[in-house]
Structure 1
């Protein structure tokens, strides 16, 4: 069973500020606050930015090469900053020469 917390002696405003500070702390720890300030991109926009087809982008997501955020069953979004990071990582992986032993 999970722990429970009661706000005894807190005004509604104090409870709101307390919860808000916890949420902000969690967002910072998980580096999610960056994504919230960006406008989400749909699959069509993401494909256009990185220059691939929708099936290719889906394959990249399946292979965990590109990050996607699922906001419900039918709403899938991407963030520009993450796309840029993922593409840089993919390019650096493909440019590394293979070692011969």
Structure 2
């Protein structure tokens, strides 16, 4: 194999892995956060070297907070979920045949 083919395989592999990670984060957000948390916890254990522990702490997913406007409805400020819009029935019309 020539060096160009090796470089090409590495670039294509990196693009495929990046696409897979992006798709998982967009389509399965709870699962990807759970996987990210599991990876971060395994890297943050005391038996790991300092560099890996630092990476593990950096990978920890952000804690979800229910601030005002989040739609959780758990506070007394009245910023609960917005009501659904009025539903309008579909109207089907026949095409005029000329």
> TM-score scaled to structure 2, two decimals?
0.31
**Greater CA radius of gyration, 1 or 2?**
2
RCO higher in structure (CA 8 A, sep ≥6): 1
